[in-house]
Amino acid sequence: MFVTLSFTFLSLKQAALISAEPSPNRGCSINQSREYSIYAPSNSENRYGTMEVTPRLTWNEEKSLQKLLGNVSLRLLYKSSVHGNSFGTMLNKCSCQGSTILMVYLPNNVFGIFVLESYPEMSEHLKKPTTSFLLSFQKNKIMEMTAAFFNSTVDLIDNKLRFNFSQVQYVLLRSNTQNIFIPRLLGEKLGLTYDFKSQYTEYEVFRVEGMKDEPGYINRIAGATPHRDSLLAELRAYRPYADLVSEIRILLLGPVGSGKSSFFNSVKSIFRGHLTRQAIVGSDISSITEKYRIYSIKDEKDGKSLPFMLCDSMGLNEKDGVGLCVDDIPHILKGCMPDRYQVRILQCTFISHRRESITSVQHLNT
């Protein structure tokens, strides 16, 4: 026995994007603010506004950061392999630039340290606490990005750059050996179970443009990750009430192009930990999906299938003979429609064949 739940998808416009203007002068006086032009001008620019220096940050990694930070853009300020592996030079170029994120590239991980206020100038004390957070994700698994939120101070001693989140929680980088060290207490917040020490290949500093200049904005970001983890845990632990049914099937219904197949791909990507496109997606006046599909979803965390399945169908259309036949929907809900059932566009074959069979039986009985 199983139960099929039906969800209707409507074509809605995207919510308004964050429209905050960049604030590169936050924490600096007017005469301190300055813009560094470290790239030669060009007629064509990449997504970071640069042409001659290619950032190591990938497109997918950038999109993951934007999901966490909101509708922001990143402008490359410093690249150690090009501008020198000197923290003093880096701070001199990146001070008074507004919100920044330092990306440290390791063989198997990428670490980022976001600082809301500007880096102070070298002549100033670096002990002023600033809102910041540390994030990490494994390569090719950017959906599993984790973040820990703190207030931090910055220490620069000789060739060592240290971000202090508390007396026992800090991140230490050494430019002479290109090492990064994270103590166990902080590492556990990032999914590490030991004192983490590794050699980095290089680091980059980006200015984060478009951050909302509101006191509670970072707090809302900080609460989003735990809330997401809590929701995923509830979905993993869900079981039908009193085991009355063996399967839960969720049917996705909606007009052509409303994003039913894209929704399934998004759900699967979240639980698999990487981007996946099992269901065919596209845009056309007729439905791209032509088969009724029943998808199970495996959770990468334990390798088990989730306690529910998603059912994808052809889109609905106002025109007769186009799209999913409405008369077929009750049969789907009753579980009479098999997986990979080929939907016929020109006629409702499933229900029409059933009606013909019923009519034939009635004629025989009379």
Helix spans in 70-209 (H): 80-83, 87-94, 184-189
Lowest-pLDDT range of 65-79, 153-167, 273-287: 273-287
Give the rounded percent of residues in the chain with a pLDDT score beyond 90. 6
Regarding predicted confidence, which is higher, 280 or 19? 280
Greatest distance between any 2 Cα atoms in the chain = 102
Residue 217 burial by Cβ neighbours in a 10 Å radius (0-12, 13-18, 19+) = middle
* pLDDT for 11: 31
Cβ burial of 226 (10 Å; 0-12, 13-18, 19+) is exposed
Please report the pLDDT score of residue 80 as a whole number: 93
The predicted model gives 276-304 an average pLDDT of: 69
CA distance 193 to 190: 9
| pLDDT for residue 277 | 65
Check residue 296 and give its pLDDT: 85
Residue pLDDT, tens place only, 140-185: 554 456 666 667 777 777 788 888 877 777 888 999 899 888 887 7
CA neighbor of 181 nearest in space, from 167, 195, 164, 202: 195
User: Could you say which DSSP state residue 13 is in?
Assistant: P
- Looking at per-residue pLDDT, the higher value among 182 and 129 belongs to 182
Which position has the higher pLDDT, 149 or 283?
A: 149
Specify the DSSP class assigned to residue 118.
P
Q: Is residue 268 within a helix (H) or strand (E), and if so which, with residue range?
A: helix 260-272
Question: What are the tens digits of pLDDT across the range 97-122?
Answer: 888 999 999 887 788 888 887 776 65
Record the pTM. 0.56
3 within 8 A of 240, measured Cβ to Cβ? yes
pLDDT of residue 150: 66
Q: What is the mean pLDDT of the chain?
A: 70
Residue 51 token pair: 């042409």
Side chain identity at 330, as an amino acid letter?
P
